[in-house]
Amino acid sequence: MTDFAVPENTVVTATAELLTRVRRQTPLVQCITNDVVVNFTANVLLAVGAAPAMVDIPEESGGFAQAAGGVLINLGTPHAERRAAMEVAAVSAQQAGTPWVLDPVAIGALPVRTELAHRLYDVGPTIVRGNASEILALAGAGAGGRGVDATSTVGDAVRAAGEIAQKTGGVVAVSGPVDLITDGRRSVRLANGHVWLTRVTGGGCALGAVMAAFAAVESDTFAATTAAVLVYTVAAEQAAAVAGGPGSFAVAFLDALASVTGDDVERRARVS
Amino acid sequence: MTDFAVPENTVVTATAELLTRVRRQTPLVQCITNDVVVNFTANVLLAVGAAPAMVDIPEESGGFAQAAGGVLINLGTPHAERRAAMEVAAVSAQQAGTPWVLDPVAIGALPVRTELAHRLYDVGPTIVRGNASEILALAGAGAGGRGVDATSTVGDAVRAAGEIAQKTGGVVAVSGPVDLITDGRRSVRLANGHVWLTRVTGGGCALGAVMAAFAAVESDTFAATTAAVLVYTVAAEQAAAVAGGPGSFAVAFLDALASVTGDDVERRARVS
Amino acid sequence: MTDFAVPENTVVTATAELLTRVRRQTPLVQCITNDVVVNFTANVLLAVGAAPAMVDIPEESGGFAQAAGGVLINLGTPHAERRAAMEVAAVSAQQAGTPWVLDPVAIGALPVRTELAHRLYDVGPTIVRGNASEILALAGAGAGGRGVDATSTVGDAVRAAGEIAQKTGGVVAVSGPVDLITDGRRSVRLANGHVWLTRVTGGGCALGAVMAAFAAVESDTFAATTAAVLVYTVAAEQAAAVAGGPGSFAVAFLDALASVTGDDVERRARVS
């Protein structure tokens, strides 16, 4: 897909502009996410400049998805009530034109979330975010990972990512040492980030919420997803530079998300 | 209500005394609160000197509310089992004379929590804590906010706060840049705090738990609520002075809650 | 039980070796734990070198317990769906030979979790971890504590710990200023740690997860449990040395868990 790769300058310049928009517009991001990362996810959204709202019961999630700027659906701990809330929210977001992100955490071997992921996939997520194993499992091309660890590489998932993007008409982001983002036509690889993001729970999950925040302020979903990843991973690098371990990294990361500038992203972005 | 305002000295002196009592008595505070802030709330209670207990299933919440020193009921993520636990706990606390705090998060537009808030309101909370939009919605005078953001100002909610206090016979605390506390007869405005409290999830919610802790050691609920707000917001100022962003602020805030003294509060309190 | 006490050198040397194994093997630890500490628990496991997976719905928890290296079952917030997941996981772990830890949080006075704890106890946990009040309640010898506070001392629970170990054929760890670990035949007392561990929510609960991680890499459960406690409490001491309160302690603790060495443990261990 390299033929369709986006020029580096375009991607980076759009990111600075979209970061400014997120901070000015404070998009309301509804998250139906897992118990483990829900606090960190809310703090990440607040730090980057968005407004989190964890409206995750089925009687309220559909109406809220119409009003929200973006929605995140993350399958990490799919309790029955939350599963119902997810289906209502996805359908409602789709009908209202609210961009929504599907993060199919640990699908493949685990039956309930795998079945649910496929049903949500059929609704048509604006963005799908996952590691290579999850993307392969969603495309029906792999057995999934062991929990949140990717046992496959990003390279293994290029074809599956393209297939998912073709089917949904949306964007797919595959997380790894080098992230891949594609809408089936354009694609880009982003090499920023830090290994400590994988040593803090929610390091991946919260990124899905940030994607929803950026998609709330920009209708070009490919540009929005790319911007979210760049802001997030450049902030991670800034945090790692002042941290002494995963605990202080998580704290510094929130500080960095609140202070990272468009210039920082432009200077540090490693796009190919 | 300024006619009934409490002299500044009285409020401040009581705070120092009540802070000492909380730390000596370690009141047991039962929290039935939302998934997003439950960890931060427990850490805030531990830092200030209280003992948190998140007993939130209906088969256990009623009996525990009789034994607890104070109870917090926060409607942030009102799953069905937790809703049942809240109703049992509120009635039980009321019967046993345990002070309890109602935080009607994001009521107004969201149907399940709005109906539940009104039922709990009828039980008679010792303290109601919310932003202006939530207080207006509880009093039936507004449409509520968008999630946890207040779209109305504290000034807009003065009358509604007074009405709620008259009906419950308890105290109402309206959060904002300047907090208002009233029992319908006395009222006070407190100008301490820091904007970073609004950039950390649970910055408001955990304050409800601290109010329950102070109410557990002082039967004058107006004095207890005021003391809780002063300790909390002065600690926030101390934390902001050493923090570099919302992540390091949250950490420094817990440290400050554990070390703030009555002298600190007396010196920094901005009461009117 | 001092007759059967393990020589200090043996315990300490095994710890260094087991810590290396955890970091090399990255054992997958399934946690069915409470809402309050689930984030901290995952971060503790990641910091020490293990891989957390919070698979806690009944349709998925049994199958996962067969594949996991270790399982933690913590009764802190025993919602109905999670209770079902716990029973399935415990039976499945037992059948598959997966080591599993039972943390009977706050049993005694609270009815649902007390009954559940006894049912899980009958399945035969590999490790039982609790404070003295909880251990006494599980053995049927006490009325339990008030929430997570121990009102009994470790000394009070020595006999009860031995009885539980005899019945399960496993290990019992009683937390307190000096921790007691026994398998009914051997016993050891460990005096490391810091009071700030009791001022951070999950300071005790996350230790249960670390025990599961160490048991995943070592079939001598007594050695594994002892190693887990030593690594955890020595890291706590290192963190306390650089922290200014409970907030910065929790952050420094995660950093210390990621960097603590076998030499550090050997130098600081206080074993009797």
Of B76, B147, B248, the CB nearest to A255: B248
Residues of chain C with Cβ-Cβ distance to A38 below 8 Å are 39
Cβ C207 vs Cβ C228: under 8 Å = yes
Q: Does C39 sit within 8 Å of A202, measured CB to CB? A: yes
The count of CB pairs under 8 A between chains A and C is: 94
Q: Is C86 annotated as a binding residue?
A: no
Q: Tens digits of per-residue pLDDT, A91-147?
A: 999 999 999 999 999 999 899 999 999 999 999 999 999 999 999 999 996 544 444
The pLDDT, as a whole number, for residue A109 is 87
Rounded to 5 degrees, what are φ and ψ at A41? Answer: -60, -45
Cβ C108 vs Cβ C145: under 8 Å = yes
How far apart are alpha carbons A57 and B96 in whole angstroms?
31
Q: Which regions of C14-107 does DSSP assign to beta strands (E)?
A: 28-32, 51-53, 70-74, 100-103
Q: How many CB atoms lie within 10 A of CB A267?
A: 10
Cβ A230 vs Cβ A269: under 8 Å = yes
- Whether B208 and chain C come into contact, CB under 8 Å, resolves to no
Of A62, A50, A46, A52, residue with least CA distance to A31: A52
Residues of chain C with Cβ-Cβ distance to A148 below 8 Å are 51, 53
Top CATH class, B2-266: alpha beta
The pLDDT, as a whole number, for residue C1 is 39
Residues 6+ apart with CB under 8 A from B219: none
Q: Does C250 sit within 8 Å of A251, measured CB to CB? A: no
Q: Are strands A187-190 and A127-131 parallel, antiparallel or unpaired?
A: unpaired
Cβ C210 vs Cβ C48: under 8 Å = yes
How far apart are alpha carbons C71 and C172 in whole angstroms?
16
Region A143-166 average pLDDT: 78
Per CATH, the homologous superfamily of domain C2-263 is Ribokinase (3.40.1190.20)
Instruction: Give this complex's ipTM.
Output: 0.95
Residues of chain C with Cβ-Cβ distance to B60 below 8 Å are 110-113
Residues of chain C with Cβ-Cβ distance to A242 below 8 Å are none
Most B CBs within 10 Å, among C77, C133, C134, C255, to test the B interface:
C77
Cβ B192 vs Cβ B237: under 8 Å = yes
Q: Which two tokens stand for residue C198?
A: 């009791």
Question: Alpha-carbon dihedral of residues B179, B184, B186, B189, nearest 10 degrees?
Answer: 10
Q: H/E element holding C181?
A: strand C179-182
The pLDDT, as a whole number, for residue B10 is 76
CA angle (B176 as vertex; B83, A48 as ends), nearest 5: 80
Of C14, C13, C47, C50, residue with least CA distance to C30: C50
How far apart are alpha carbons A228 and A213 in whole angstroms?
8
**Alpha helices (runs of H) in chain A, residue ranges in sequence order:** 8-25, 38-48, 58-67, 80-96, 111-123, 132-138, 158-168, 205-217, 221-242, 246-259, 262-268
C partners (3+ CB pairs within 8 A) are: A, B
Q: Tens digits of per-residue pLDDT, A21-68?
A: 999 999 999 999 999 999 999 999 999 999 999 999 999 999 999 999
Nearest CA in chain C to B37: C36
Residues 6+ apart with CB under 8 A from C134: C104, C105, C106, C107, C108, C144, C145, C150
Q: Are strands B179-182 and B171-175 parallel, antiparallel or unpaired?
A: antiparallel
**Alpha helices (runs of H) in chain B, residue ranges in sequence order:** 8-25, 38-48, 58-67, 80-96, 111-123, 132-138, 158-168, 205-215, 221-242, 246-259, 262-268
Handedness of CA A145, A146, A148, A150 (dihedral sign): negative
Q: Does C79 sit within 8 Å of B57, measured CB to CB? A: yes
Of A78, B39, A197, residue with least CA distance to C41: B39
Of B28, B39, B81, the CB nearest to C146: B28
A246 pLDDT higher than 60: yes
pLDDT in tens, chain B (272 residues): 444 556 666 778 899 999 999 999 999 999 999 999 999 999 999 999 999 999 999 999 999 999 999 999 999 999 999 999 999 999 999 999 999 999 999 999 899 999 999 999 999 999 999 999 999 999 996 544 444 445 788 999 999 999 999 999 999 999 999 999 999 999 999 999 999 999 999 999 999 999 999 999 999 999 999 999 999 999 999 999 999 999 999 999 999 999 999 999 999 999 98
Q: Does A256 sit within 8 Å of B148, measured CB to CB? A: no
A159 pLDDT higher than 80: yes
Nearest CA in chain A to C64: A110
Q: How far is CA C51 from the centre of its chain?
A: 16
Q: Which two tokens stand for residue B38?
A: 């439950």
Most A CBs within 10 Å, among B57, B77, B112, to test the A interface:
B77
Domain spans, chain A: 2-266
Q: Does A253 sit within 8 Å of B245, measured CB to CB? A: no
For A:9-28, CB contacts with B below 8 A are 28
A partners (3+ CB pairs within 8 A) are: B, C
Cβ B64 vs Cβ B107: under 8 Å = no
Q: Is A211 annotated as a binding residue?
A: no
Residues of chain A with Cβ-Cβ distance to C60 below 8 Å are 110-113
Q: If pLDDT is split at 50, 70 and 90, which confidence band does A17 have?
A: very high
Q: Which two tokens stand for residue A49?
A: 């400049």
Question: Alpha-carbon dihedral of residues B256, B258, B260, B265, nearest 10 degrees?
Answer: 100
Of B28, B54, B252, the CB nearest to C77: B54
Mean pLDDT, chain A, integer = 94
b/e map B189-202, b = 16+ CB within 10 Å: bbebbbebbbbbbb
Q: Which two tokens stand for residue C227?
A: 């190693």
Q: Is C54 annotated as a binding residue?
A: yes
Cβ C83 vs Cβ C29: under 8 Å = no
pLDDT in tens, chain C (272 residues): 344 556 666 778 899 999 999 999 999 999 999 999 999 999 999 999 999 999 999 999 999 999 999 999 999 999 999 999 999 999 999 999 999 999 999 999 899 999 999 999 999 999 999 999 999 999 996 544 444 445 788 999 999 999 999 999 999 999 999 999 999 999 999 999 999 999 999 999 999 999 999 999 999 999 999 999 999 999 999 999 999 999 999 999 999 999 999 999 999 999 98
Nearest CA in chain A to C42: A201
Nearest CA in chain A to B252: A251
CB-side neighbour CA atoms (13 Å) of A107: 31
